[in-house]
Structure 1
Amino acid sequence: MLGRRLLLVIPMVIVVSLVMFLLASLVPGDQARTILGENASPEAVAALRKELGLDLPPLQQYLNWALAAVRGDLGASIYSGEPVVSILAGRLPVTLSLVVLSTLVIGIIGVALGLMSALRGGWLGRFLDAISLVGLAVPGFAIAILAVSLFAVTFRIFPATGYVPLTVSVGGWLWALVLPVFALSLTGTTLVAKQVRDSAKDALAKDFVRFLRANGVSETSIVLRHVLKNASIPAVTVLGIGAIASLTGTIFVENVFVLPGLGTMATQATLNHDLPVLLGIGVLFTLITVVINLIVDIVYGVLNPKVRAA
């Protein structure tokens, strides 16, 4: 299974980069005109377009980029001239911090709430259903704006903007990412909780659970060693989807909280018609998505040996 996943990387990168290239080419505006300014002469614009290779047919531009990308050269930013690889390396830690933290929150809190709801039910189950509806109905960027308005502007508990690198201060890094992670993980947490709750209820109703209880096995051991394992298998799928959703959600959340990650870079590159940077971000997002799917497959194999054998 892992081998098949790895074989899909190349066509996925090709398709994603080609689609991004075609979409970016349809965006109104001229890259050379953006660099030189509106007052630049037509001759200067034409000369810069030739220098940057923008006068070539779109397919030839893409093929030139793809051949260079195979050699590890993603080109340079048309706007700043900085190598795309350097831009991605500088922005990647911020985006990865958001994705990893939000995935941990979705997994830990979602599983805990799901188990509590399955064991106790009542108001907690109704609360999960209500929050799930809110999370599905309200987009992530709206949750981010509401979080800033409430917790950063009104009560001034958390910072509204800014980022502290992990290497500078672990506490500052966590504190700066509380609201962005909350905005990214709310929907995924409720979905995982509902999945775990439903799966745990099904497991608790099985004959083997009654057999274990009849033999004096403690409730804690039954839940942690048997029910949780059965409930976690379908929840892994939802968690993987939540991680990928967090990755795409960083584009909006980073802009709301002014975080120097790949999401804000993608927005800037779109406004500047900076195609090499957009293609580099698209390739990197694709690779991260593939890695997330590989991790999900590995976890499946650990939880269910039949999947690993297949």
Structure 2
Amino acid sequence: MTTFLLKRLAIGLVTLLVASIVVFGVLEVLPGDPARIMLGMNASPEALQSLRALMGLDQPLVTRYLNWLGGMAVGDFGASITYSSPVIDLIGERLAVSLPLAMIALLLSTLIAIPVGVFAASRRGGVADTITMGTAQVGVAIPNFWFALLLVYVFAVGLQLVPAGGFPSWNEPWAAMKALILPAVSLALPQAAILARVTRSAMVEVMGEDYIRTARAKGLPRKRVLWRHALRNALIPVLTILGLQFAFLLAGTIIIENVFYLPGLGRLIFQAISQRDLIVVEGVVMLLVASVVLINLVVDICYAVVDPRLRVRR
């Protein structure tokens, strides 16, 4: 197990290195001068030269990349010109919104999807299975931003149960949680539809195995066979989707955060791209890449916990 973890860590570090080269290179080849975009077309040559020097754009490409990489290695992501603040501080402030939002959405998605998937698999081919999977297909097809607007219209504008947007602060915990309810639901339900379909497919495959028939032949209750034997062996693909979904929920909230006007990572990267604040874009993207690598490592560890056979092989 230790060898496996060390190998996965090495792969993760190589992935981060390659990703840093790609991210830095892609942003460098984008057309346009960041300094001119930030100062405007009427900026004087002296102001442009001063800003380029401040942003490090007057240095050679390799030097800028190595300085940026070395800074990230020690936790220094640089400073934002637009916000006049260290990038790591901006990320920390925005993570205080995006991370709880992603975790709440993932929890809701899991609590909805796994029971629905098990229920549909236990009634394979029946009316309940057809209705459940049909509803899940609709959930997959509906764009989450349209669903978010519908939730705002019903629960914020119509019933006035929760705010339509904005985020107070965590100094007011109840108000902050109310502000995250609609965004979390609008993110969770489409993901729950995907996860429910995956859970149902994995359960149907597992329920055809010999050990399930043996357990039923021994007289074990149907619920125990479903939840203790079938579900545990069907969790490998479910865990894979959960890992991917958490990475998506953390990185893919740009539209939802703009719909609800939340000061999260998605809104930060959207504003940084529009303002051509490259150092912020590079820092946020690398943080998201690192989160994906870390989540994949956690999922691999969960594989070994769920299925002891994998520990023996590794």
Q: Is the 8 A contact 1:184 1:246 kept in 2?
A: yes
What corresponds to 2:141 in structure 1? Answer: 137
- How far residue 293 of structure 1 moved from its aligned partner, in angstroms, is 0.8
Alignment of 1:219-234 (within 5 A): 219-234=222-237
Question: Structure 1 residues 156 and 24 mapped into 2: Cα distance closer, same or farther (>3 Å)?
Answer: farther
Moved more, 69-78 or 48-57: 48-57
Q: 1:74 aligns with which of 60, 72, 77?
A: 77
- How far residue 269 of structure 1 moved from its aligned partner, in angstroms, is 0.8
What runs of 5+ residues in structure 1 fail to find an aligned partner? none
What corresponds to 1:51 in structure 2? Answer: 54
- How far residue 165 of structure 1 moved from its aligned partner, in angstroms, is 4.2
- How far residue 96 of structure 1 moved from its aligned partner, in angstroms, is 0.9
1:23-48 deviations in whole A, cap 9, x for unaligned? 33344543333444444322222222
Q: Aligned partners of 1:232, 1:18: CA distance in 2, in Å? A: 35
Q: 1:126 aligns with which of 130, 136, 152?
A: 130
Secondary structure, counterpart of 2:268 in structure 1 = helix
TM-score (norm 2): 0.88
1:282 correspondence with 2:285: yes
Q: Aligned partners of 2:216, 2:46: CA distance in 1, in Å? A: 84
Q: Is the 8 A contact 2:38 2:276 kept in 1?
A: no
1:303 correspondence with 2:300: no
Q: Aligned partners of 1:2, 1:202: CA distance in 2, in Å? A: 29
Between the aligned residues of both structures, percent identity stands at 38
What corresponds to 1:186 in structure 2? Answer: 189
1:110 correspondence with 2:113: yes
Alignment of 1:147-186 (within 5 A): 147-166=151-170, 168-169=172-173, 171-186=174-189
What corresponds to 1:266 in structure 2? Answer: 269
CA RMSD across the alignment: 2.4
Q: Is the 8 A contact 2:118 2:200 kept in 1?
A: yes
- How far residue 173 of structure 1 moved from its aligned partner, in angstroms, is 3.3
TM-score (norm 1): 0.89
Q: Aligned partners of 1:124, 1:101: CA distance in 2, in Å? A: 28
Q: 1:101 aligns with which of 101, 104, 111?
A: 104
1:41-99 deviations in whole A, cap 9, x for unaligned? 22222222223322234443222212222232211002122111111111112111122
Q: Is the 8 A contact 1:5 1:290 kept in 2?
A: no
Secondary structure, counterpart of 1:8 in structure 2 = helix
Q: Aligned partners of 1:76, 1:287: CA distance in 2, in Å? A: 20
- How far residue 272 of structure 1 moved from its aligned partner, in angstroms, is 1.4
Q: Is the 8 A contact 1:17 1:282 kept in 2?
A: no
Question: Structure 1 residues 55 and 301 mapped into 2: Cα distance closer, same or farther (>3 Å)?
Answer: same
What is the total number of aligned residue pairs between the two structures? 309
Q: Aligned partners of 1:271, 1:101: CA distance in 2, in Å? A: 29
Q: Aligned partners of 2:255, 2:229: CA distance in 1, in Å? A: 39
1:233-272 deviations in whole A, cap 9, x for unaligned? 2211122222222122212221221111111110111111
- How far residue 154 of structure 1 moved from its aligned partner, in angstroms, is 4.1
1:211 correspondence with 2:210: no
Question: Structure 1 residues 55 and 299 mapped into 2: Cα distance closer, same or farther (>3 Å)?
Answer: same
- How far residue 185 of structure 1 moved from its aligned partner, in angstroms, is 2.0
Q: Is the 8 A contact 1:180 1:257 kept in 2?
A: yes
- How far residue 167 of structure 1 moved from its aligned partner, in angstroms, is 5.2
Q: Is the 8 A contact 1:128 1:190 kept in 2?
A: no
- How far residue 113 of structure 1 moved from its aligned partner, in angstroms, is 0.5
1:25 correspondence with 2:25: no
- How far residue 163 of structure 1 moved from its aligned partner, in angstroms, is 2.3
Moved more, 282-291 or 134-143: 134-143
Moved more, 119-128 or 98-107: 119-128
Secondary structure, counterpart of 1:79 in structure 2 = coil
Secondary structure, counterpart of 1:217 in structure 2 = coil
Q: Is the 8 A contact 2:137 2:193 kept in 1?
A: no
What corresponds to 2:203 in structure 1? Answer: 200
